Amino acid sequence: MDAGAATGHNFGLREEIKSYWSARAATFDQSPGHEIFSEEERQAWHRLIIRHLGQGEGRRALDLACGTGVVSHLMDDLGYDVTGLDWAEPMLERARAKAKARGRTIAFRIADAENTMEPDGSYDVVVTRHLVWTLVDPKQAFAEWLRVLKPGGTLLIVDGDFVNAGIAERFLKVVVRWIEGMRLAKPGPMHAPEGMAELHGRILSQVHFSDGARAEQVAALMEDAGFANITVDTNMKAIHRAQSKHLGYLKGLSRGLQHRYAIVARKPLQAGTMTAQRR
Ligand SMILES: C[S@@+](CC[C@H](N)C(=O)[O-])C[C@H]1O[C@@H](n2cnc3c(N)ncnc32)[C@H](O)[C@@H]1O
């Protein structure tokens, strides 16, 4: 990608994020944790979605920052009427190609998740995976997501803190680097193309959650935005177990140690009628 363009005056942080993900689109689905590589993992995701949102039964779902459409497809599998939005056209092209290949009718459109242009109260559920950590203005985003939900509708966020690694995770990373450096094991699947790490770091240092998106902080902002019945679910074991079979043993172990979570919340039926419950 043209990293030089990123230094131009008119090239703001949002443009930088958009062009980063546009450049990542070509290899995005090669990473375990992005695309799904086993039926075991697909079923684990289905169980997580059913646990928090139930079966679709034709209800309308909005997948924000849908990327290559992995979550949109999971929702479609469960009977939701899905619209996926993303602001990186190369991601959307892949999402549309997958839907065509699988014979699915999912609408994929270009849009900013902080300003979707979708009508008020038009969705039963809003889902988003791995977007919150990279939001420039989560307050604006959460207000927008509340606006597009129907009263009583549900928001499901799947995300994580990808900044703060605990001692065990840091130790495992050193061991993996050493083992791969000594060529004692084949390097695992590449997460991001080499050469993009610097841009990733520059973006991460400027986003709202530059110190890591901790579930409690995300939940507090959701409550401020007007969401209620907020629950944090950190039981992602089944998903991580399935992913670890494609990541290699140590990287799989490391993933299980990260602060990854789902947060589910409701739009009150009427303003002020439901009490927020953060657990
Ligand atoms: C880590 S990927 C996640 C993709 C997908 N949700 C998944 O879990 O496979 C992040 C995605 O967020 C998109 N994105 C980031 N900020 C966005 C915004 N404000 N509006 C729309 N899309 C955004 C990027 O283009 C990229 O496709």
Domain ranges of the chain: 3-164+194-237+261-266
Q: What is the pLDDT of residue 88?
A: 98
Q: What is the pLDDT of residue 185?
A: 61
User: Rounded mean pLDDT of 203-217?
Assistant: 96
CB 20 within 8 A of CB 203: yes
pLDDT at residue 204 above 90? yes
User: Phi and psi for 93 in degrees, rounded to 5?
Assistant: -60, -40
Q: Find out whether the beta carbon of 129 lies less than 6 Å from any atom of ligand 1.
A: yes
- Tell me how far CA of residue 250 lies from CA of 180, 254, 258, in angstroms: 11, 6, 13
Q: What is the pLDDT of residue 182?
A: 67
Q: Does an H or E element contain 76, and which?
A: helix 70-77
Tokens of 252: 């799989």
Q: How far is the CA of 188 from the centre of ligand 1 (A)?
A: 24
Q: Which residue out of 64, 87, 203 has the highest number of ligand 1 atoms within 8 Å of its CB and is therefore the one to mutate? A: 87
Instruction: Pick the residue whose CA is nearest to atom 4 on ligand 1.
Output: 67
Residue linked to tokens 């599998």: 77
Q: Find out whether the beta carbon of 69 lies less than 6 Å from any atom of ligand 1.
A: no
How do residues 51-91 score in pLDDT, each as one tens digit? 999 999 999 999 999 999 999 999 999 999 999 999 999 99
How far apart are alpha carbons 127 and 106 in whole angstroms? 14
CATH number for 3-164+194-237+261-266: choose from 3.40.50.150, 2.60.40.730, 1.10.10.10, 3.20.20.70: 3.40.50.150
Q: Find out whether the beta carbon of 23 lies less than 6 Å from any atom of ligand 1.
A: no
How far apart are alpha carbons 15 and 234 in whole angstroms? 32
